[in-house]
């Protein structure tokens, strides 16, 4: 059975759709990744975020290696149907560099500054 969200999603010519991921409790934007129809369906079926890695050309389940999972609380589609927004419960850090959010860098007058501290050591997790 098809899902209305999957039916309404407008995928790019390379069969991808961007997905913005936001913490359901704090509203903090955690990350942006891409999904295929298959990873979107799996996410909707399981309640766990599943993405498509453009660099590795493969499916990846968030937290499968790190244990830092994302459980779906809510899924939304923008007005054009070409971008997804997921509100999730984030376990641990969302960023592979060790931060809670991939958007931890902020522009400052003298360059870039980092908000927050690392919540895990990526070298220990991704050995």
95 annotated ligand-binding residue: yes
121 annotated ligand-binding residue: no
27 annotated ligand-binding residue: no
78 annotated ligand-binding residue: yes
14 annotated ligand-binding residue: no
15 annotated ligand-binding residue: no
Q: Give the chain as a 3 state SS string.
A: CCCHHHHHCCCCCCCCEEEEEEECCCCCEEEEEEECHHHHHHHHHHCECEEEECCCCEEEECCCCCCCCEEEEEEEECCCCCCEEEEEEECCCCCCCCCCCCCCEEEECCEEEECCCCCCCHHHHCC
Per the annotation, where are the binding residues for Mg(2+)?
78, 80, 82
Per the annotation, where are the binding residues?
78-80, 82, 95, 102
Per the annotation, where are the binding residues for Zn(2+)?
79, 95, 102
């Amino acid at each position: 059975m098809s899902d209305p969200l999957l039916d309404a999603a407008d995928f790019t010519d390379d069969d991808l759709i961007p997905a913005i991921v936001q913490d359901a409790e704090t509203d903090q934007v955690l990350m942006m990744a891409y999904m295929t129809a298959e990873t979107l369906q799996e996410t909707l079926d399981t309640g766990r975020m599943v993405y498509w890695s453009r660099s590795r050309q493969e499916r990846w389940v968030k937290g499968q290696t790190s244990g830092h999972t994302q459980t779906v609380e809510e899924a939304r589609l923008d007005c054009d149907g070409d971008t997804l927004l997921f509100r999730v419960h984030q376990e641990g850090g969302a960023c592979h560099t060790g931060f809670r959010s991939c958007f931890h860098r902020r522009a400052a007058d003298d360059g870039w500054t980092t908000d927050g501290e690392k919540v895990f050591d990526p070298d220990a997790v991704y050995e």
